[in-house]
Structure 1
C-alpha cells in the first residue's frame, strides 16, 4: 500500500509552494520566489537606480527614510487578494497608512519587449523617489513622464545609460491619435484610466524627455513646475513659461521624438560594493506574506468577514510558526476582535518584547478595547516601540494620534513625532493630512499649506486630493477654523457612510 501511494505521489505531484526569499540592502527589501543569484541582481539593480536618480536630480531621500518593500510576483493579482485588479496592470506603487511598497511582475507574459519587467520595476521606484525626495506638487504628466524617462535606464558592468528610447511608448505615439496638449496639461484624472491611458503615458514620456534634454528647456521647465506647485493654472503656466504656441510646440515635439531625441551615457565610478543580505523566509510565508501585506493596506468592508476567515485558514496550516501567529493577531486586530488580538499579541511579546510591530499593534488594540487606562496603556506600548525603532514612521504617527484633535494644538512631543513621521514618509496621505491639521492648529498655516500642496494636486490623489485642495485654500488664507471645518465635515461624512468605526 505504501509503495502504491509513493507511485501515485510521483505520478500526481502536489503543487509546489512558493519559497519566498528576501534580499535586504541599505534602501530596499526585495521579496521574490526566485533563485538567490537572480534576486541579488534585482536588489543591486535597485540600488544602482537609486544612485542614478540622486546623480541626475541632485536630490535624495531624507536620512533615515524607511527601506522600500518590493515584491516581485508571477501574478499581480496575488498582491491584492481581496480586491479586484485590472489584468492589464503589471505593477503598482502604494503608500498607505500601514506600509509603503512596490509590486511588479517578475516577467511580463507575452511581451516581445526586452527588459520590460525591469522597466516596470524601475518605473515604480521612480514614483517613490520623486514623492520622497521633493516636497513639491507636480502635474500628472510630469509624475508619469519622470518615471517613464528614467525607467529605461540600463546598467552595464562598465557604463550606465539613461534617457533611452521607450519602444512601447514610441509605438503608441506612432499608431495612436494624440491627446490635445491643452487637455494633457489640464488636471484631468480620467486620462490616467481607460482607453486613453496608453497615449497619455506615451505623450507624458515624450514631453518630459523633450523638456529634460532639448536645449534651453530645463530652465523653462523649472519655472513652470514652480508656478504649478504654487497653484497656477497648469495650461496658462505652460503658455507663460514654456511655449504659448501649442500647435507649433506639438510639431516640435513630434519632430524631436522621430529624429532628435538623445540619451546619456557615463562610465561607472569605482564605489564600494552594495551589501546584500539574503535570507529564506519561513514556510508560512508561502501563504501569508502577501495577505498580511494586504491587511496593512486595509480590506474593503464587504470583504472583511471573508478575509478574516481566509487568514485564519492560512495560519492554521502552520500553527507553530511565528509568522502564522503574527498573521492571526493582525487579522483579529484589523478585522475581528481586538480582545483576541491583544491576547495573541501578549503571547508573542512575552517572547519578543522589543518587536516594534507587535508593540504598535498592541497599542492599537489597547485603544480599541473599552477599558480603564486605555490611553496610558497604549502610550506605554508606543513609547517602547519608539525606543525599539526610533525611525518607524508608523509608530510616530500612532503616537501623535493619541493627542489628535480637530481644534486643539498637540503637545510639543506629539507634534515633534508627527513632523518626524512626515519627514520620513511624505508619500503617505494620512501623514500629510494629520501634519497639515496639526500645524494649522498650532497657528502655522503657512507650513500647513506647503505640506498640503503635493497632495492637493497629486494625479492619483482621488478624494484625499480634493480634501487637501479645500484645506489648502483655507490654510493659504490663514483660516484655521476653515481648515478644521474641512476635517470635521469629512469625519461626519465617514461616520454616516460607515467607512470609519464599523466592523470593530
Structure 2
C-alpha cells in the first residue's frame, strides 16, 4: 500500500495514555510519544481533569506513524486528509505521518501553490485529533460541530515549552486564507443557528470561523461566561438559534465584533500545569514478524468495507503462510478474516483456524480470546447454542483484563441476540463498558435500547441527547430526535421499537455494503 519505507524499523513507544507505533528512529518515536503525553497533561490542566492511571492498553490511544501525508490520505480514502482519529470500543486509533512533511491547506483542498507560512504540519493535525479523543472520553455532553472543531484547532497550535508549561491561543496559520482573507466567508449566524444540511463551505468554517469564535469567546472579557451558557442550553435541548441569541445577543453584532477582532492583536495565555513531571516512555523495537504484518494491522485498524476486506485478508494470508509460528501474523490474519466474515460468513472457519493458531502460541492473549469469542458470537446469530461458548471466551478475556470494555459489551450482546433477558450482571457490564468508552456511538445506542427495554425513559433520553440535538440536520440526528420525542411523550415502548428498528437497519446496511 505504501511506497518504500523511509526507515527499516518500527518502534513501540508507550506512555500513560498512548501506544505509539512509529516507522522511524527510536529517538523520533520517543520524542513524539513525549509530546503527545504533554498534550494530555496540558488538556487536563485546562479542563480540570484529574490524572487517573490506565491499567489496560485498551484505554490508551494507539497511534500509527508511517509514511508521509499522502500515504495517510490514501489510508483514509481521501487526499485531503493529513491525519485522522477513529473512536472505537476497546482501542481507539489515530494515524499520522512519520515524515515531518508539511502541506498547505490550499494543496490539501486541491489548489496549487505552496507557502511555508500556511503549511499544515502533522503535529498540528495530531494535537487536533487527540483533543477530539480527550473531549469525547471525558465529556459525554453534546457539542455543536463548530465548537468541537474550533476547540480542537485551539489545542492544535499549542506550543509546548521545555519547562512543562505551554502557550495557548496562537492562530492556525494554515487556515489563514479563511481566517484573514476572503477565501471562505461564513457568517456567525449561519454557523450558530442554521439547521440546514451543512455544505462543504460550512464544514471548512467549523475549523476556521469555529476557531476564531471559540478564541474570541474565551479571551474577550465582555463575553465571559457566554460560551458556557450557550453550551448548557444546547445540551438542555434548546434550539440552536434560540440558544445562540439567548447567550450572545444580537448575532449580527457578534459577527461584526468577530471581524474586527481578527484584525487586531490576538491574545493568548501561558500555562504551567500543577505538579508537572516529565512523561515517562517505555521503548521497544518491534520484532521482524511484527514489522512484516504492520501494513495489514494498520489497514484492519483503519476499518474495511465490503470491497477492501478481501484484499486485506489475502495480504494477511500470504504473511501468515510465510510465518506460521508468528503470533502477530496469525492474530492479524484472524482479525482480517473476521472482518471479511461481516460480508461473507463463509470466512468464519478461516478466522477460527488463524485464531486457534494464535492461541496455541499465546493462550492468555486477550485480543485472541476476544476474537475467538466473537467468532462464536457471529455463528450464534443463526445458531443460538453458540452464544454460551462465546460467553466462555469473553469471560476468559475479562478475567485477564477487567478494564477492557469489549468483553463486557459482547457478553451483554450474546444474551440480546440469543433472545433471552440479560442477567443483571450483563447489564451492569454494559454500563461499565459505556463508562469506559464514552466516545463509542454503538455502545451508547445499545445501552439506550436496554434502558428503554427496562422502561427507564429519562435515563435513555440522557444517553441519546448528544446525538439527538446535533445543531446541524442529519438523518441520524433526526432519527434520534424522533426517539427522544417519543420518550418525552411517555411512549417508551414505541421509542424502544423505533430505536431497535433503526439500529437493525443500520446493521443490515453495514453488512450489505450499502452506504446510502
The two structures have a TM-score, normalised by structure 1, of 0.87
Query: Would the aligned equivalents of 1:409 and 1:441 in 2 still touch at CA under 8 Å?
Result: no
Aligned to 2:483: 471
C-alpha spacing 1:59/1:218, structure 2 compared with 1 (3 Å): farther
C-alpha spacing 1:135/1:500, structure 2 compared with 1 (3 Å): same
Query: Would the aligned equivalents of 2:300 and 2:336 in 1 still touch at CA under 8 Å?
Result: yes
Matched, 1:306 2:328: no
Aligned to 1:71: 64
Aligned to 2:83: 91
Question: For the residues of structure 1 that align with 2:223 and 2:419, how far apart are their CA atoms?
Answer: 46
Query: Would the aligned equivalents of 1:409 and 1:442 in 2 still touch at CA under 8 Å?
Result: no
Question: For the residues of structure 2 that align with 1:100 and 1:194, how far apart are their CA atoms?
Answer: 27
Query: Would the aligned equivalents of 1:22 and 1:31 in 2 still touch at CA under 8 Å?
Result: yes
Deviations 1:279-325 (A, max 9, x none): 11222344532432433554212333333223223434444322111
Q: 1:284 aligns with which of 289, 300, 306?
A: 289
C-alpha spacing 1:284/1:469, structure 2 compared with 1 (3 Å): farther
Question: For the residues of structure 1 that align with 2:359 and 2:473, how far apart are their CA atoms?
Answer: 37
State the number of aligned residues. Answer: 486
C-alpha spacing 1:462/1:94, structure 2 compared with 1 (3 Å): farther
Matched, 1:132 2:124: no
More off after superposition, 488-497 vs 326-335: 488-497
Shift of 1:178: 1.6
Question: For the residues of structure 2 that align with 1:213 and 1:446, how far apart are their CA atoms?
Answer: 37
Question: For the residues of structure 1 that align with 2:423 and 2:468, how far apart are their CA atoms?
Answer: 27
Matched, 1:163 2:169: yes
Query: Would the aligned equivalents of 2:72 and 2:95 in 1 still touch at CA under 8 Å?
Result: yes
SS at match of 2:416: coil
Shift of 1:381: 0.7
Q: 2:35 aligns with which of 45, 56, 61?
A: 45
Aligned to 1:427: 439
Q: List runs of 5+ in structure 2 lacking aligned partners.
A: 105-115, 342-346
Question: For the residues of structure 2 that align with 1:366 and 1:77, how far apart are their CA atoms?
Answer: 39
Matched, 1:203 2:209: yes
SS at match of 2:20: strand
More off after superposition, 94-103 vs 214-223: 94-103
Matched, 1:295 2:300: yes
The two structures have a TM-score, normalised by structure 2, of 0.85
In the TM superposition, what are the counterparts of 1:333-352 in structure 2 within 5 Å?
Answer: 333-336=338-341, 337-352=347-362
Shift of 1:406: 11
Deviations 1:19-48 (A, max 9, x none): 221110111111211111121111111111
Shift of 1:393: 1.3
Aligned to 1:238: 244
Shift of 1:451: 1.3
SS at match of 1:137: coil
Question: For the residues of structure 2 that align with 1:236 and 1:471, how far apart are their CA atoms?
Answer: 22
Aligned to 1:5: none
C-alpha spacing 1:183/1:330, structure 2 compared with 1 (3 Å): same
More off after superposition, 58-67 vs 417-426: 58-67
SS at match of 2:95: strand
Shift of 1:217: 2.4
Matched, 1:184 2:185: no
Question: For the residues of structure 2 that align with 1:120 and 1:497, how far apart are their CA atoms?
Answer: 31
Matched, 1:56 2:46: yes
Query: Would the aligned equivalents of 2:398 and 2:407 in 1 still touch at CA under 8 Å?
Result: yes
Query: Would the aligned equivalents of 1:22 and 1:281 in 2 still touch at CA under 8 Å?
Result: yes
Aligned to 1:359: 369
Aligned to 2:225: 219
Deviations 1:168-199 (A, max 9, x none): 234422222421222211455854x6355434
C-alpha spacing 1:463/1:356, structure 2 compared with 1 (3 Å): farther
Matched, 1:400 2:406: no
